[in-house]
Structure formats: C-alpha cells, structure tokens
Copies of this chain bind each other. A is one copy, B any other.
Amino acid sequence: MLNDDEFIKTCDVPGPTKEEIRAILLYKSNVCHEDIVVDIGCGTGGLSVEFSLKAEKVYSIDKNPEAINICKKNLEKLGNLDKVSFIENDGVNALKNINTFDIALIGGSGRDLEPILDLVDSKLNHEGRILIPCILVDTKVDAVNKLKSLGYNPKIVEVNVSKGRVIDRGIMMIARNPIAIVYAKKR
C-alpha cells in the first residue's frame, strides 16, 4: 500500500491517481502476473507504479517529457522499474508501436479518446480490460458512448472520497474531487 504523499510530484504533471482510486482500479482490473498493461497518459506514475508491482510488463505513455521523467523517478522509488517501458508520445502514436496487451488504463487522452479507444480495441487481447479514470464529466459520456459503439458493455462508477483530519476537537472530513471510472471487458 502506497500513500499519495510517497510519490514524487512536480507542478506541471497531474497526479498521482489517488490511493482509493488506485485500489479500485487494481481490483477491477483483475491484474495478474502474466498481464501486459498500457498506461496511457501516465502522468506522475501512480498507476504505472502499482501495475509494475503486479503485472508482467507496463508501457508508460505520455507526450509530456516531464511526466515521463517524474514517472520514471517514482518507479525507481516505489515500483518495479525493470518491468516498464517508457514511451514519450501521444496515445495514438504510442499505441501504433505496441503489439497486444491485456489491460489498458487511459488516464489522459488529450482530445483523442475516440481514436485511442479504436486502437485499444484492435490490440486488446480476448478477456482484456479497459479502465478509464475520468476527471472531466465529458470524458465519462464520451467513453461510455464510444465503448458502446465498439460493442462493449461499459460500466461506470463514481467515487467521492473524503479524508478525515483528526483534530483536537474531533474529526473533520476533507473532500477529494469526485472521480468516475468507466470500465469494460472484451468478449
């Protein structure tokens, strides 16, 4: 278990995906030690770190060189660097050069969610899983609609987390921004 504040952070790179969301993504992904994972828009590397500890192989993809840099540092500190290949490119171009995989995490898609999902669908192994943590309301709708059009049966869960601050007079709850997770399995 990793605390959010164990990750090295930098201003210009979003993330890491918060602890409870990482936990739910790990669980829903059913990741096992034979799985190949693509982490599209890896940012700070919250998910790349977690999946490097469970999977066979992770491709960490981000077009922002600063994200690749910080993601690498977090893998060194907290994950399993040996299992990770870094690709400094946007999702579409990065995916073109990867063969098949079992799990696609799409935390950042720029404005390319639809072509990314087309490519993911074409390279995802049978029984493969797609997981899309969504910060924007629009992404939820777009992801569900695109997955439906590709023949998936997408599910969606929204998670509002508050963390207690135990102060002298009692417990105060501090809210985290809501995150939705859209996910689907290939059949």
Contact = CB atoms under 8 A, between A and B. Distances in A.
* Count of chain copies: 4
A76 interface: no
A72 interface: no
Contacts of A26: 23, 27
A169 B111 contact: yes
A155 to B, nearest CB: 7
Interface in A6-55: 19-20, 22-24, 26-30
Interface in A131-187: 135-141, 144, 148, 154-164, 166-167, 169-178, 180
Most chain B CB inside 10 Å of its own CB: which residue of A19, A30, A170 = A170
Nearest to A134: B170
Contacts of A1: 27-30
B158 A144 contact: no
Nearest to A136: B170
Interface of A: 1, 19-20, 22-24, 26-30, 111, 135-141, 144, 148, 154-164, 166-167, 169-178, 180
24 contacts: A1-B27, A20-B24, A20-B27, A23-B24, A26-B27, A27-B27, A111-B169, A135-B172, A136-B172, A137-B137, A137-B156, A138-B171, A144-B171, A148-B166, A155-B163, A156-B163, A156-B166, A156-B171, A156-B173, A158-B164, A162-B177, A172-B177, A173-B178, A174-B177
